A and B are shown apart, each in its own frame.
Chain A
Amino acid sequence: MFSFIARIGDSFLYMIRDQGRMGIFLLSALRGIFARPFRFREVVRQIRIIGADSVWVIFFTALFTGMVLGLQGYYTLRKFGSEGLLGSAVALSLIRELGPVLTALMVIGRAGSAMCAEIGIMRNSEQLDALECMAVDPFRYLITPKFLATIISIPILTQFFNIIGIVGGYIAGVILLGVNPGAFHSGIEQSVVNLDINLGIVKSFVFALLVVWICTGKGYFVNILRNAGFGAEGVSRATTNAVVVSSISVLIWDYLITAIML
């Protein structure tokens, strides 16, 4: 019985300690933004890796998500004889929810896991120690550029997702199923208000921060955090963990932000 309580207490302490580490990690990474000289070229390179290289994935995800929304929405709305609302239904679901969430999830899968593995391997092979010994701050050099690039890329990709998604909805609803194009347009114009757009933008920034923080942090502390491990297995475990935790965090915060702002 005692050992059970002791185990719970132990896990709790570990949790607090790990949260503290991740918190200090976040502060150090954000402080790196104000360090000079600004690493413009590295940030651009990371935007290419995290953002530009994700464009096709986002394109196809968005297109088919939009088309499915168009299809499902059409059959549901037709039961009530209100196919005219299709544009509004598609646009609102995308702008408020699906755009930010799916974009973040796709970036986690494509770039987040890669970031975590890259940094984890650097930790294991003492490359991070080597940087520190050369008095090169690993945050400024390695982590802050990834933060900036992700925080720039995800909001832009989210808006791209929304546009392509609406085009997908248009293709499914108007071109394939024959909804009136004028009704589709005016439905969007009348129903989407500033609050919806702001909600989507706030979400995309918060998700970007969560994704890059969790994915780089799990890599940075690859053999220190609880549930961590050593060597190749440690990196693979940290990467899996980063993907799972950041995906779940995105979904939890999606709910929280919606609840707060609506």
Chain B
Amino acid sequence: MGLFDYGNNVMSKAVIEFHNVVKSFGDQRVLDGVNVSFEIGKTTVIAGGSGQGKSVTLKLILGLLQPDSGQIIIAGQDITKLKRRHLNDVRKNFGVLFQGAALLDSMSVYENLALPLKERTAYKSADIDQRVHEMLAQFNLGGHGDKFPAQLSGGMKKRVGLARALMLQPEIMLFDEPTTGLDPHITLEIYRLFYKTQKQYGYTSIIVSHDIPKVFNLADRVILLTNGKMATFSSPEEIPESDDPDVISFAVETMGHIYSSRDMEQKI
């Protein structure tokens, strides 16, 4: 039984909801009253320019940062009010791929993958060994288990990070720019792994990505983050129909080649 089994009497399918979330750093208001929800079993992409607060949004979901005001409801609980111990219970359902992979750099790849199993399950070391080797093979990392993170390429680090996040078969996966800085070939490979594992494990996922419009192939919904506000779209076509000038200018910048620029210019 997971944390997210609601029973029949719950109408909403949202696993994560933001209610009027405000987050500032000093004078800089990064999130300015955000209302948004993420649905169970769906893949949601958060897009937006650099420095708009996408990573901050993920950290808020994980309870690594506290909002200045507003509520963040995960599976019916407001995590901004949870004690550390209960917060950890919620976090057990998450798998996270950090922007910089955040592998433990004094441990080998093998030990990095074994860590969640060692810490969080009662598996015997033979079972752990078997599972780690399965994952290494699945992510094309066979033979690299003894290397240390500093000895890996960027793409390999991302794959190790992805494998580590999936180790405990979480119900929600958060990806912070899984493909940024990788060449198109590796990008495709990551997307393929992502697609395959999502089929296999059926997790709800939230992906932060700049890769518009390609991520629409993976996403059920896209959330655009501009100037501290979020807007939700369920297809790429909806974006230029928005009446928010910030959204339009973002769309022109990132997808101008898709929409005829004349349509856009009229909107602006």
Contacts and interface: CB of A to CB of B under 8 A. Distances in A.
Whether A and B are associated in the same complex: the answer reads yes
A141 B94 CA distance: 19
Nearest to A128: B102
Interface in B165-205: none
Contacts of B94: 133
Contacts of B106: 118
A137 interface: yes
B18 interface: no
Q: Which 5 A-B pairs have the closest CB atoms?
A: A130-B102, A126-B102, A133-B96, A135-B88, A135-B91
A53 interface: no
B100 A125 contact: yes
A131 B62 CA distance: 12
Given A137-B88, A141-B119, A132 B64 contact: yes
Nearest to A121: B105
Contact of A136 (B62, B102, B105, B120): B120
B210 interface: no
Interface in A127-147: 127, 129-137, 141
A17 to B, nearest CB: 15
A118 B105 CA distance: 10
B120 A135 contact: yes
A2 B264 CA distance: 54
B92 A135 contact: yes
16 contacts: A125-B100, A125-B105, A126-B99, A126-B100, A129-B59, A130-B96, A130-B103, A132-B64, A133-B62, A133-B96, A134-B91, A134-B96, A134-B119, A135-B88, A135-B91, A136-B116
Contact of B91 (A121, A125, A127, A132): A132
B116 A134 contact: yes
B62 A127 contact: no
Interface in A170-211: none
Given A133-B91, A134-B115, A135-B91, A125 B120 contact: no
Contacts of B268: none
Contacts of A134: 91, 96, 115-116, 119-120, 164
B83 to A, nearest CB: 13
B104 interface: yes
Interface string B77-103: 000000000001101101010111011
A29 to B, nearest CB: 14
B98 A129 contact: yes
B64 A127 contact: no
Nearest to B107: A127
Contacts of B120: 134-136
Interface string B110-147: 00000110011000000000000000000000000000
Contacts of A121: 105
B115 A126 contact: no
A127 B96 contact: no
Contact of B98 (A122, A130, A136, A137): A130
Contacts of A130: 96, 98, 102-104
Nearest to A133: B96
Contacts of A125: 100, 102, 105
A127 B105 contact: yes
Nearest to A126: B102
A136 B64 contact: no
Contact of A133 (B64, B100, B119): B64
A121 B120 CA distance: 24
B137 to A, nearest CB: 22
Contacts of B98: 126, 129-130
Contacts of B99: 126
Contacts of A122: 104
B102 A129 contact: yes
Given A130-B98, A132-B64, A133-B94, 11 more contacts: A126-B98, A127-B104, A129-B64, A129-B102, A130-B103, A130-B104, A134-B96, A134-B120, A135-B89, A136-B120, A141-B119
Contacts of B116: 134, 136
Nearest to B63: A132
Interface string A202-229: 0000000000000000000000000000
Interface in A80-133: 118, 121-122, 125-127, 129-133
B92 to A, nearest CB: 5
